[in-house]
Amino acid sequence: MSSQYPEFDPASDPIDKAAADSRDDDRRHDWQVDDESDDPLHDDPRERHSRQIDDALDALEAGDENGADPEPESVDEAVSRMQREVEQAHQRVLIAQAELENFRKRTRKDYEDQIRFAALPLVEDLLQVRDNLLRALEASEASSATIEGIRDGVDMVAKQLDGILAKHGIQPIVAVGEPFDPNVHQAIAQAPSPEHEAGRVAIEATTGFQLHGRVIRPSQVVVSTGEPAAPTG
């Protein structure tokens, strides 16, 4: 037996259908809001511009806190700064030139002093020889002085002098018996010599000396002409 009332279908109920459609719209709206918040394409240009302005202001405030000068240097300030730098560089150049001139003067003075006092060590040693010569003279005036004693004292002083000269690089030039050398010998005469062949030094009139191999004074010598001629008749 069929009922006179139609069978109830929940899906066909308009109230329930409207409620379901509302829930579906809410879910779609939530999904779209979440997607738009993550998608940069949906970013509002005005909000993005506002954020850029805020970032620039924050950077300027940070620069002020660090002591940075946001304002550029003016032309007058730049010219003044460069003039000060030029003046400071000029002063440094003048100071360097003055120091260089003082260095040259000190170097020149030191060099002149070295030349002027180069013989100081030799002079100090020679003063000892002078002292001994004076002592020899004083001893010769004594009543008990003898010729032999005076001669021995002078001989000691002469040996002391030769030792001082050798100490400072002064050496006598060997002459007698050596071949005549115009670089170190000065011939004052020629004479026959039975002991020396022709061309050799027979007699040394004055002893020559060298300083570190350089001739200070040549030896004055008599050069042999060879054997004397045999007498005739």
CATH code of 175's domain: 2.30.22.10
Structural domain ending residue among the three candidates 119, 144, 168? 168
170, 216 Cβ separation under 8 angstroms = yes
Looking at the fold, whether 164 and 174 belong to one and the same domain comes out as no
Contacts of 34 (CB under 8 A, 6+ apart): none
Number of domains in the chain: 2
Do 161 and 105 lie in one domain? The reply is yes
- Domain finish residue from 117, 138, 168: 168
Residues 123 and 164 in one domain: yes
Task: Retrieve residue 173's tokens.
Answer: 């030039």
CA 50/CA 155 separation, integer angstroms: 116
What is the spatial distance between Cα 167 and Cα 125, in angstroms, rounded to a whole number? 10
Taking a C-beta distance cutoff of 8 angstroms, is the pair 102, 94 a contact? no
Domain annotation covers residue 57 = no
CA distance 94 to 206: 60
**Pick from 207, 211, 204: which is nearest to 176 by CA?**
204
pLDDT in the model for residue 31: 44
Specify the amino acid at residue 177.
Answer: G
pLDDT confidence of residue 199: 92
Rounded mean pLDDT for each run of 10 residues along the chain, 233 residues in total: 48 51 55 47 64 73 56 83 92 94 95 90 92 86 78 90 93 94 95 91 94 94 86 63
Residue 28, in any domain of the structure = no
CA 21/CA 113 separation, integer angstroms: 118
Residue partners of 75: CB distance under 8 A and separation at least 6: none
Domain assignment of residue 133, yes or no: yes
pLDDT (0 to 100) of residue 169? 92
The pTM assigned to this predicted structure is 0.53
In a domain, 43, yes or no: no
pLDDT for 56 equals 72
State residue 179's pLDDT score. Answer: 94
Specify whether 163 is located in the same domain as 176: no
Residue with tokens 């929940």: 10
| Residue 66 is assigned to a structural domain of this protein | no
Query: Is 206:175 a contact under the CB 8 Å cutoff?
Result: no
Q: Where are the alpha helices (DSSP H) in 39-143?
A: 45-65, 75-116, 120-140
User: Distance (Å, rounded) from C-alpha 46 to C-alpha 37?
Assistant: 15
180 falls within a domain: yes
Examine residue 75 and state whether it is found in any structural domain, yes or no: no
Same domain, 155 and 191: no
| One domain for residues 153 and 192 | no
Residue 186 in any domain: the answer is yes
Residue 206, classed as helix, strand or coil, is: strand
Does 153 share its domain with 186?
no
Range of the domain at 187: 170-228
Whole-number pLDDT of residue 22? 56
Both tokens assigned to 102: 């003082």
Q: 136, 168, 200 — which closes off a domain?
A: 168
Same-domain check for residues 116 and 162: yes
Residue 190 shares a structural domain with residue 159 = no
**What is the C-alpha to C-alpha distance for residues 172 and 224, in angstroms, rounded to an integer?**
21
